[in-house]
Chain A
Amino acid sequence: MILQGKRVALPPSPVVHRQFEAHARTTPDAVAVLCAGRQLTYAELDARANRFAHFLIADGHGRGAKIGVCLDYSVDLLVAILGTLKAGAAYVPFDPAYPSARLELLLGQVPDLALIVVSPATAGLVETAAVRTVVIEELADRLAVLPATGPDVEVTGDDVCYAVFTSGSTGTPKLTAVRHEGWFNLLNWLMLEYGLHSGSHNLVVSAFGFDLSQRSLMMPLFCGATQYLMASRNFDAAMAYRMLTRHDIRVVHCASSTLYLLVDWETARRGSELTTLDYVLFGGEPLHFERIADWARRPGNTCTLLHQYGVAECTDVATSYDLAGHRPAGDDIAPVGTPAYNTEIHLLDEGMRGVGVGEYGQVFICGTGVGAGYLNSTGPENERFTTVVVDGEPRRMYRTGDRGRVTEDGDLVVAGRMDAQVKVRGMRIDPADIERALGRLDGVRQAAVVLRHTDDGEAELMAFLVPSGDGLDENDVRARLLEALPRNMVPARFLSIPQIPLSPHGKVDRAALTAEFLDQYAGSGTTA
C-alpha cells in the first residue's frame, strides 16, 4: 500500500531563510515578531540576524557548525535561529524548562557543539557544561559594528538546518538532524495547501525543544506574517487565551493535549477565540476526539482542525487530515490523512511487502522530508534509515515503528507502536530512558515504566519499582526524578513490586506487569 503525495517542484536552492529574506525585501516594515511588548519588523529582524551570522562566522562557526540555543521565547530567540541559518550552521534547541541535569546530558550528546547561546535567565542552567556559552545580550557592542547585510554563505538544500532530541531505546536521547530541503518542503506544502499568507499570524504554544515548535516558529516568517511569542517557560493557557483575545492571531500549531487545555479554557469561559481561528494544526499523540467533540460541533465554529502525523526524523509532519470529514463511530481512530508534497507513505508487512487496503502494516516514510539521520549514534537505531526496493528501484526510507492502515477513502490511520515507545503530551518517549534514570536513584534496584490511559483519555506513565532496601517513598522518588528528567517524562504513579516479570526472551513483560499489578494498584491508594 502506497500513499503518494503531490509532486511539487522546489526552487533550485530550497533554503528556509531565503524565503524569510525575500519577505524582508518586499515588506520590510511588516511586523515579524512580537513578544512581551518588544517587536521587530522584517527589516529589523533580518538586520539583527545578519549581524549575528557575521559574529558566528568571525568566531569560526560557519557552514556545517552546530550552535546550541538555550533561550526563553523572545525576539532574540528568532535572531539566534535565523543568524545561525544565515551562517550556514544548524541550531539545536535546548528547552530552558528542562532540569539542569537533563540539559547537561543532552549537551554531552551533541558532537562538536560550537557554542551555546544563552541569556542571563538561562545561563545558570548550562554553566557547568563543557561548552562555551555566549550571552546574547552581552554581544550588543560587538554586533553593532558588524554589517547589517547578509553574509555570503552558500547553503544548499542538503545542509542540516536544525537537530532535535528524541527519546532513544537504549536510554540515550537521539539527536536527529533535519535538512533545509525537507523543512522548506514542509513549510511550502502547508503554505500552498492551506492558503497561508502574510495575514496568517501565528501564536507559539509549544515548548522550544519539540520538533513541532521549529515549524511553528518558522511558519509565519515563511509566509510574511507576524509571529507572536509568549514570555513563558511553560504552557500557560490563561496567557495564550489572552493573546488570542488581544491580537489577530489566525493559526496555532500544538500537541493534541495542548488543544484539549485550550478547548477546556474556552468552554469554561464561554469564549469564541479558538472557534474563529483559521487553523489549528495538531497531532503528536493519539487524538481523544470526545475531549473536543462538543467544541468542534459548536454552531459558528469556523476553525479548521488539521490532524497530522509525522516523526522528527522525517521533518516533523508527513501527513495531514481535515477533521471536518471525521464522523466517528464507536472507537474509530481519527485518520491522519494524506501525505505532504513530495512525500510517500508505504505500509509494509514483516517481509517488506506492501499490505492491502484496510490491512495493518508498518509505516515507512519516503521522500524529501527524510532527514539526515542521528548525529550522536552509529548504533543499530541508524538502521531505521533504510533502503527499500520498490518496483526495482531503491528508495531511501525511514522505518517509523508505527502501525498503520489505509481506509477505503485513502487516508492513513495510525494505531500504536510496533515497540514499547509511547507518546505523552506530544512527546515521544522511550520507557527505557525513564527506566535508566530511575535505576540511578538510590534505593531503586530495578524499574519498569508503562503507559496507561485514565478514564478521561489522558495518557499517563506508571512506574513499577523494585526497591533495593526497605521500601520507597513515592514523593521522594518523584522529587528526585524531577531533578533529572523533563516533567513529561516523570511518571504520574509509582508502585513498588517484589520483581519485574520477564518474557521468555528476558525482556520486561509490560503486558504482564499491567495485568498482574494494576488491580493491586487500584486498591492500594497512592503508596509506593
Chain B
Amino acid sequence: MSDTATTLLEIIQENVPDIQIDPATDGDRLLSELGIDSLDKMSILLAVQEKWDCEFTPEEIAELTTLNALCKKLG
C-alpha cells in the first residue's frame, strides 16, 4: 500500500471511526457503500486538503467517489 493510501486510511479512520475498510478490496467501492455519508466525506476531504495543502474544486469533489480516485488525485 502506498504512503498516500496509508495516510488516507488514517484520515478516514480518524473522521469515521466506526467503519472498517480493506484497501485490497474496497478501493473501487463507492465511499457511500463503505458507510461514508456526504457529511463524513466533507470532513475527510477537508482533512485531506489540510494535509496535502491543496484545494479541490466542486467538480473534482464530485468525481472523488472512491478511495482509489482519491489516491490517484493525490498522486
Q: State whether these chains interact.
A: no
Interface of A toward B, CB cutoff 8 Å: none
